[in-house]
Amino acid sequence: MGSEKIDTVELGTGGPRVGVQGLGCMGMSFAYGPTDADEARATLERALELGVTLYDTADLYGNGENEKFLGPFLRDHRDEVVLATKFALAIDPAYPNKRVIRNDPPYIRQAVEGSLRRLGVDTIDLYYMHRRAPSVPIEETVGAMAALVAEGKVKHLGLSEVTASELRAAQGVHPIAAVQSEWSLFSRDVENGVVAAAAELGVGFVPYSPLGRGFLTGSFVHAEKELSSDDFRRQQPRFTGDNAAANAALLEPVRALAAAHDATPGQIALAWVQQRAETHGLSVVPIPGTRSRTRIEENTAATRIRLTGDELALLEPIAGKVAGGRYADMTFTSAGRE
């Protein structure tokens, strides 16, 4: 399984050419419990062999640790990798457990210097605003990001968790290569607005958490009972209490299609998001996260699965039945601003 290189695609008009599936690196240092650093590093290498070139991190992940972890790999493969990182989610020094959103130009300048230093690179290929602080006009934020392009610190710009109107306003200041927002069989709110705007503007789409944070693979049901005490998913309403069992039951058609394709439920979830985005006319590069070589082989192999119209129809009702929100605190998302 997974010995063949995946295809490539241009991520947004004028954006970087990358493998049609990227790699989410967050879990290698953050959010999903204990990590084996050697296996994580081997996963980075295996992904590259399989044609994965878009590697996704953020300064938030492990408070800089994830960027530092990627540094040695990047230095070995700088020309082969399209490196994406993000700014905006900062720690309030007065309240270390609280996150604040910073989109103001002085903060962006400070953030990019920190990321370049930790990553050990001269240029970030794709620099995202991770979250939007509505108090700062998007034009001001993107203007500051565009200045980094002019200075050669950044090559392409991206936005995470933005609305259609925010994307349009941003595109008026500088070309945006990609929107990165949550999109999966369980999370389809992007289809209500920003997806159509991205397609119209020629902006690429990078679905994050395309495996529903692992839940769509069937590898866990009750986060509180099955995951380690520091796992972020224990705080997510979909994976806790009565919601967890109700949501697990929604995977029945995913399992049935997996059996029909001699595939896994996770592969069906990945094939779905790829095809769904193509239906909207988008260039799409999902970034499933994994820390294991066998799973990167499984995930990249999903790019070769094609679901029929009847099969897609079977999966269509799932998202509307999901119990619980994407996050416990949705104020950190684009929901409500759309």
Ligand X SMILES: NC(=O)c1ccc[n+]([C@@H]2O[C@H](COP(=O)([O-])OP(=O)(O)OC[C@H]3O[C@@H](n4cnc5c(N)ncnc54)[C@H](OP(=O)(O)O)[C@@H]3O)[C@@H](O)[C@H]2O)c1
CA distances from 232 to 34, 73, 237 (A): 12, 26, 11
φ, ψ of residue 262 to 5 degrees: the values are: 55, 45
Residue 196 near residue 164, CB atoms below 8 Å: yes
Active site residue 208: no
Residue of 61, 107, 127, 208 marked catalytic: 61
Q: Which residues bind ligand X (CB under 6 A)?
A: 24-27, 32, 56, 130, 160-161, 180, 208-214, 217, 219, 266, 287-292, 295, 298-299
Task: Considering the complex, state which of residue 310 and residue 329 has its C-beta at the smaller distance from ligand X.
Answer: 329
Q: Reduce the DSSP state of residue 12 to 3 states and report it.
A: coil
Residue number, nearest CB to ligand X = 24
Task: Considering the complex, state which of residue 270 and residue 310 has its C-beta at the smaller distance from ligand X.
Answer: 270
Gyration radius from the chain CA atoms: 19
- Min dist. Cβ of residue 72 to ligand X (A): 18
Task: Considering the complex, state which of residue 66 and residue 171 has its C-beta at the smaller distance from ligand X.
Answer: 66
The residue type of 255 is R
End-to-end Cα spacing for the chain: 41
- Min dist. Cβ of residue 132 to ligand X (A): 11
- Min dist. Cβ of residue 140 to ligand X (A): 21
Task: Considering the complex, state which of residue 235 and residue 313 has its C-beta at the smaller distance from ligand X.
Answer: 235
Alpha carbon 195 to its chain centroid, in Å, reads: 15
Residue 213 near residue 240, CB atoms below 8 Å: no
- Min dist. Cβ of residue 32 to ligand X (A): 5
Q: Which residue has the tokens 């059996």?
A: 259
Task: Considering the complex, state which of residue 102 and residue 291 has its C-beta at the smaller distance from ligand X.
Answer: 291
Query: Helices (H), strands (E): how many in the chain?
Result: 12, 11
List, in order, residues 6 or more apart from 205 with CB less than 8 Å away: 178, 179, 180, 181, 183, 190, 195, 198, 277, 282, 283, 284, 285
Task: Considering the complex, state which of residue 151 and residue 230 has its C-beta at the smaller distance from ligand X.
Answer: 230
Q: Reduce the DSSP state of residue 322 to 3 states and report it.
A: coil
- Min dist. Cβ of residue 131 to ligand X (A): 7
- Min dist. Cβ of residue 243 to ligand X (A): 17
Q: How far apart are CA 287 and CA 25, in angstroms?
A: 9
Region of 237 (left: φ > 0; alpha: ψ -120 to 50; beta: rest) is alpha
Q: Of 106, 109, 112, give the one whose Cα is nearest residue 127.
A: 112
Active site residues: 61
